[in-house]
Structure 1
Amino acid sequence: MAARDYGQYSGISRAVELVGERWALLIIRDLLVGPRRYGELASGLARIPTNILAARLKELQAAGVIRRAPRSRVIVYELTPYGRELEPVVLALGAWGFKALGDPRDEQVITPDSMTIDLRTAFRPVVAAQLPPTAYGARLGGAELVIRVNGSALDVTRGGGDVDVAFAAGTGFRRLISGELAPERAIETGVVDVLHGRRELLDRFAETFHLAAA
């Protein structure tokens, strides 16, 4: 039974009953990146009360959206095939929300999982397929990622590694993704700091990852 019942017989009302409770879509967002232990979910959603996280997980399991699974002697939560069908919905919602995003406030954080999904949202596979394979190292807020683009395929992993260009980005990074700020201008103004590698590859990054602003 969903935590909320709107009393309407329609697909949208049923979807909102299943995943519309507070924090539910953010849990799904993080699980789209990969299976997570309870503690990892709690760490990635630092403001979620423990009782709310437990309740959301229980509700999503009951709805068949997620499941508990054993992994190397620990229990993780992962999306079911039914739950993974939400990926295009989450990406589309992220693109819509980007239009009203603005700059981050001091108390807001960027997590590796949230940035991974944002990159998936901004990824343009048709454009990427016309460009040479490229590996980017990105430090975005509290997230350090390796972003590998090979044709129309995108792979984002945590941590460091061998990359063609590495950069750190400040709070104005969204202006680069939106096209509001050209890559060279982003470097000049300190929005992006190229740590090593070919700085001209930032132009390729901006071509590959783009989201329209409002």
Structure 2
Amino acid sequence: MAEAARKRRGRADEDALFDRELDHLPPEARWREWMHRVEATIFAAQEPVGRETLARIVGKGCAIELLIDDIREELRGRPYDLVAVAGGWKHLTRPAYADAIRAAVGGSETKADLTQSEVLVLMCIAYFQPITRAELSSFFGKEVSRDLIGRLRGAKLIASGPRSPTPGAPYTYVTTKEFLLEFGLATLRDLPDFEALEDAGLLSKEKLLTGDIPVGLLGQEGDEEEAKIDIVGDETF
């Protein structure tokens, strides 16, 4: 307890010494310094950096979205960009350079290979979460195995959600932050609108039940049931 309190006091002292407002600088120079701080923080981070973190290094009156917009404008024409993903911002290389990066250093360590069946189950979880394994099985008309769920969990694309209120209180499954990262989504709201897809005739619960779903909806290609599908997103990490 004492150690934790000491660390909190130390952090508070550091915060007090850190000049966020930069009132001594003219407005243009202040904005430029805030841009540099934000870009440097995102560049140094391994995970997407959220608003709360960025708010620690800029003034109270700073509009973080406008800062990001200005940084992205300066990065226009560069081979990388700042991308909103998984609830924060991250430096990602542009898709046009994916082949060059693979040729130089090989595939990404975060890349996951899934069968088409696994992609279909993952899509179902993404749209209908939280959902139990029994409910997933009822969607497809056949049992979704524990092994399949285990592979998705092993890839860190899904995790256990709240227990279902149904008899036996089984665990439900939900998608994860890693799922958002893999597909380049800022939030689950960025998934294609399910009703719009149904209205366009591209996706329906009937198609989901029969497994007749265009895998390309998740930005992938695949023909055979067990064909391997590379689910890295449109951006290269």
Tell me which interval the TM-score lies in, with the shorter structure as reference length.
0.3 to 0.5
Q: Select the structure of larger CA radius of gyration.
A: 2
Q: TM-score, normalised by structure 1?
A: 0.33
Normalized per residue, the structure richer in helix is: 2
More contact order relative to length (CA 8 Å, sep ≥ 6) = 2
